[in-house]
Structure 1
Amino acid sequence: MSLLEPLAARYAYWLGLPAKETALPEASPEEVRAMPVILRMEKSTPPGRTPLLEAAASAALAVCLDERAQPGGEWHEPVREWVSGHIRKVSRRARGLHWQVAQEFPGVTVSVEGAEARALVPGRVVDVPKEIARLQIQGSDLPPDEPPAASPELPVLWLNPEVSMTVGKAAAQVGHGTMILASLLGDAELAAWGEHGYRCSVRTPTVAQWKALHPGEDPEGAWRERRVVAVRDAGFTEVDPGTVTVLAHYPG
């Protein structure tokens, strides 16, 4: 069974639920699991918002599909336990020495146009190393940018134009998007994406474009006919439960 199969099995179920029913019960504090996503945000040379989100989206998926996360690998059990429950991510910002220290913990770093993000192997929140826990979660953002047209060869993660999200929140959401996409792809498609380092484009559509892309009440049909999946947030931070934050579109 694919490590991401639980996401494929839950996808249609999640999107078909009324918004109020997507707020899943909170686990006991000692059992809450999350993937730390470290965003490099140097004070003197801040990254572009779009490339940073693209790096975060690719890094989160790369951890899940790394050979060390497969059966028999050293990351398999923590990744499997996390994917089987909430796929919560916690974005943190780092710079200077703190960014260098983050490289010492198990995970994958991705760079896009000079912007860097590192996704760490998920685990229990209570067990997060102090070097990572000290990194700030809130208090910073990046201004909107104007990226070029998305590559027709790469998946596109469309951010909801009617929902305001910090760069940290958006980084977690696009990471969810790449994971759901990967869970639904066949082996050949996944291998082809892997040859591109699981790169993707992150863009913000117009409201009209968003409504045209939205799967509505037929998530399975949207995937089968248009290769579109939706990320529906559980409402732990920033947005209301049931909010569709990202629409992920796979080319072809």
Structure 2
Amino acid sequence: MADPDDPLHHAVRAWRDRRIRKICRRARGARFERTADLPHVEARSGLAVVRAFAPHPRDDVPDLLRPLQVGGLDLTDPDDLDQPGPEGVLTIRLTPGVGMTTGKAAAQVGHAAQLAYENLPAAPAWAATGFGIRVITGAPVLPVAERVDVADGGFTEVAPGTVTASAGFETVS
């Protein structure tokens, strides 16, 4: 988000200059379509669409987003946890044993993806492939220099400094 002409640049910069907080929300159908009018960036995978909206203070949530929540989802890990992801896909590993609601886990995944984009040298190649990710539960397998870790601020569900997620480009050796 370094381009000052990007419409979200100033909102992201103001957000980064404070203590970072992330909130994930879920919408379907008409509620989701109405959110397209808000400043955002969008990612797609098959039929799935994710929108990241301009950061805003927690007490100043846009009216279209205020009623949306993430919940009621039962997410399960794939059977191939021990296998590397496809070439160019970012693997995000949620830390085992750290209890998080679905919304909290989604926020940590988003933060891990953002940190990977900003800090890992393979990010330009990742962008060229459409920002594919796979999310699993598991301890990091990459050395510290080849991954990013999300250390939580401790505002909600976990203790400050808890590493909730790690992300990196795991490849077949």
**Aligned length, in residue pairs:** 168
1:154 aligned residue: 89
Matches within 5 A, 1:173-188: 173-186=108-121
**Structure 1 residues 98 and 77: CA distance shift in structure 2, 3 A:** same
Shift in Å, 1:88: 1.5
1:141 aligns with 2:73: yes
Secondary structure in structure 2 of the residue aligned to 1:89: coil
Shift in Å, 1:74: 2.6
Shift in Å, 1:203: 1.3
1:91–1:168: 8 Å Cα contact kept in structure 2? yes
2:133 aligned residue: 200
Shift in Å, 1:198: 2.0
1:141–1:166: 8 Å Cα contact kept in structure 2? no
Secondary structure in structure 2 of the residue aligned to 1:136: coil
Secondary structure in structure 1 of the residue aligned to 2:65: helix
Secondary structure in structure 1 of the residue aligned to 2:24: strand
1:130 aligns with 2:63: yes
**In 2, Cα distance between the equivalents of 1:185 and 1:242?**
21
1:214–1:230: 8 Å Cα contact kept in structure 2? no
What TM-score do you get using the length of structure 1 for normalisation?
0.59
2:152 aligned to 233, 237, 240, which one? 233
Shift in Å, 1:133: 0.9
2:35–2:65: 8 Å Cα contact kept in structure 1? yes
Q: Which has the larger radius of gyration?
A: 1
What TM-score do you get using the length of structure 2 for normalisation?
0.83
**In 1, Cα distance between the equivalents of 2:88 and 2:6?**
31
Identity over aligned pairs, percent: 37
**Structure 1 residues 147 and 196: CA distance shift in structure 2, 3 A:** farther
Shift in Å, 1:146: 2.2
Runs (4+) of structure 1 exceeding 4 A deviation are none
- Structure 2: gaps of 5 or more residues: none
- Higher RCO by CA contacts (8 Å cutoff, separation 6 or greater): 1
Secondary structure in structure 1 of the residue aligned to 2:64: helix
1:151–1:201: 8 Å Cα contact kept in structure 2? no
2:24–2:106: 8 Å Cα contact kept in structure 1? yes
Shift in Å, 1:158: 0.6
Secondary structure in structure 1 of the residue aligned to 2:165: strand
2:141 aligned residue: 213
Secondary structure in structure 2 of the residue aligned to 1:122: coil
Deviations for 1:158-203, whole angstroms, at most 9, x for unmatched residues?
11121122221111101111222222234xx332221112222211
Shift in Å, 1:233: 0.6
**Please, what is the CA RMSD of the aligned residues?**
2.3
